[in-house]
Chains A and B, each alone.
Chain A
């Protein structure tokens, strides 16, 4: 194993891991940041979505060796008090059923709204299409992203 130093949620962390270890498992097993979820391991479902320098990234396929200087943000670091406009909107709309995919949904939406604060209905659908919700809470996810965008813009 090798030593890697990465920036996560504003803190610098050093971990011992094999170079090919996906960031997902470093976050979950080494750093106890379990909000980022394992769903498929092949970047198809979006449950593992985090931000690297503000861009949405699938952490299940991203080796720790390639994170480098990139600033990693996870659901735990999205806001200090859990009050990001999206988190508030998620509560307002009562989005989750099982809840497992929702951190990934919120992280995808957060990176999207940074770039496009006033999206159309179709733009929201395009942006969120890559994240699977097996409980199919899509209608509420869409509504919550819309509400958050209205608050942010």
Chain B
């Protein structure tokens, strides 16, 4: 368990300073590694060098602070919360802090990735230490000017005070501070003294968002920039043979029609991570002076396609995945005891299969990227969750020195995992290199959903055995398209709680591109596992909450380093959710479903309230109890939880991307249904209060919501749900209201 005990920090090589030519002090720092010996600090803001530093802080001579925030913003709030941590230890008023998105030109970057709810968890120590070290340098500078011991001075709200009561503002001493040695052994604040962390801070971009200022990739413009629409294969498996661009070239404003993609195909075979829309066929780009003209030109193309690889369908996938579950050709990811023997000895067993379809990410901002490839440099601008990896891929594809790649991140109109894959940036770069012009590639919604990257279809089969009133065995099998659960997921609950325990996984290789989707694997695994435990408790005739608490007792005191969920923290969230939801004091006509889950280092318990209205089950409310350690920004944290819960419910209820002949049957929001306002329940969030290091919140609230509503719907209707989307099974159109 990581604690927040203030520590002395002996590493000083992570931070460098300089005096800015125009006045003020600049601090460059690295979140994880030491600064390179030869890393030089710039002396003007125009030449911030993100090759050597992850992020910078400027303290102007009026005391105002600008933080060049290091992590990509996809809506998870780190552009606000990470600077809050620096500002807290720097001890400045939050309204004197301005936050700008850091640019990226880096080859040695450690974690400039938005994904896995890890930004805050990884940044916590380094961000605090950066703030505290800078504060100490300012104090040291003031103390030197006064000729007093630094230890006799204190700071508050950007002002340094000595024993005589004399004061200096931070801005007054920046010049001297910039020239001082970086101190070691700085002391961090006690959580009780926090004035910024734990207090609501509104999204730092809110003014721009509500007034429509350019922020997103799609909003980016550069003089002379052209727009490109790309004709990609109509289905997974088709390859381009030839095309006729006569009509396309007649469209006003069309400047180029080019066949391209061979470089991306070569890259894909070398680096599957950037798969996406790349790599199964050449494509045709129509380049024009405006987005609409490019799209019109694209629609006027006549292309001939041939069958390259099999055109797959959902029925085929279902058969293949069930075959995997029925067969014996699976990899064992964890094995305790002997489940087969335990099943043979059991008084009773329960076996259930849970199924879910492909899902698109359906980010509101369609994929897009700007590229300007010239002899001097490669300028890339756009929304990307993996800027460093994408820059490296582009360098590899174009055969350029990584130093030539200048990638600027924009705010992102949603990510959910889709923008981990840089395929759209790579397309833009290959196209710009081919036509020698600055160009922005813009996808339509149909491009995005029709031939993108998807959360793959998954099926779980779970079997448990009960002997003498105890769960003695648990066997989970996973069958998934293309990939399987990874890392420590096989060691999540109930690993360690059941004597005979096994997790097996197998996959079917498809030509449909698949990838991470918000809370990878756990977004569906949590439903399967927790809905199973609810049914198991029913079979055992014990209270479902008590079943979880009993199992958690078995994990206490374990010495298995793969098991990272903490029984005590899980109990705390369970008890808080039970208390706040009134689970033990049921109201007439309200049916409740309980779920507890740990993923992405955060413990969450949820209770869903379902009522029957007009003979239909309606989810009215979800009560959430969360232990994410110290809550950096409560309003932002709650926003993530509210969104995660409703997102989880929406996709479980309606999300369905089935395939016929290699093509998704839904390509836009008319057929691919997303949850809307009338279907969204109230979400009420409660935090477990402690002083433990913070963990992320972009993902952990989503997975348990699905099981909670499924269990509550069963309470209300007597129908167990095993297959997503649930709305199909319930045969109602407007289920949640």
Which residues of A pack against B, CB within 8 Å? 1, 17-18, 20-22, 25, 28-30, 32-42, 44-45, 47, 74-76, 82, 87, 90-91, 94, 96-103, 106, 125-126, 128-142
Contact = CB atoms under 8 A, between A and B. Distances in A.
Contacts of B416: 134
A139 B76 contact: no
B210 A91 contact: yes
Contacts of B446: 41
Given A103-B212, A129-B678, A91 B413 contact: no
Contacts of A45: 364, 669
A128 B291 CA distance: 28
Given A18-B292, A87-B211, A138 B674 contact: no
Interface residues of B, number: 66
A17 to B, nearest CB: 8
Given A18-B293, A134-B414, A138-B680, A40 B669 contact: yes
A38 B213 contact: no
Interface stretch (B13-21, B24-32, B197-205, B543-551): B197-205
Contacts of A75: 210-212
Interface stretch (B216-224, B423-431, B534-542): B216-224
A142 B677 CA distance: 8
B252 interface: yes
B365 A100 contact: yes
A125 B202 contact: no
A39 B444 contact: no
Contacts of B66: none
Contacts of B414: 98, 100, 134-135
Interface string B406-417: 000001111110
A33 B211 CA distance: 11
Given A37-B365, A97-B640, A134-B364, A22 B292 contact: yes
Contacts of B290: 17, 21, 25, 29-30
A111 B713 CA distance: 37
Contacts of A125: 677-678
Given A18-B252, A76-B212, A139-B642, A97 B76 contact: yes
A96 B292 contact: no
Contacts, number: 188
A96 B646 contact: no
A98 B77 CA distance: 8
Interface string B644-684: 11110010000000000000000011100011111010110
B364 A101 contact: yes
Contacts of B413: 37, 98-101
28 contacts: A1-B253, A17-B292, A18-B293, A28-B218, A39-B365, A41-B444, A41-B668, A90-B209, A90-B210, A91-B202, A99-B75, A99-B205, A100-B364, A101-B413, A103-B209, A125-B677, A129-B677, A131-B677, A132-B669, A133-B364, A134-B414, A136-B643, A136-B650, A138-B677, A139-B642, A139-B680, A140-B639, A142-B677
A10 to B, nearest CB: 15
B203 A44 contact: no
Nearest to B411: A99
A40 B642 CA distance: 24
B215 A137 contact: no
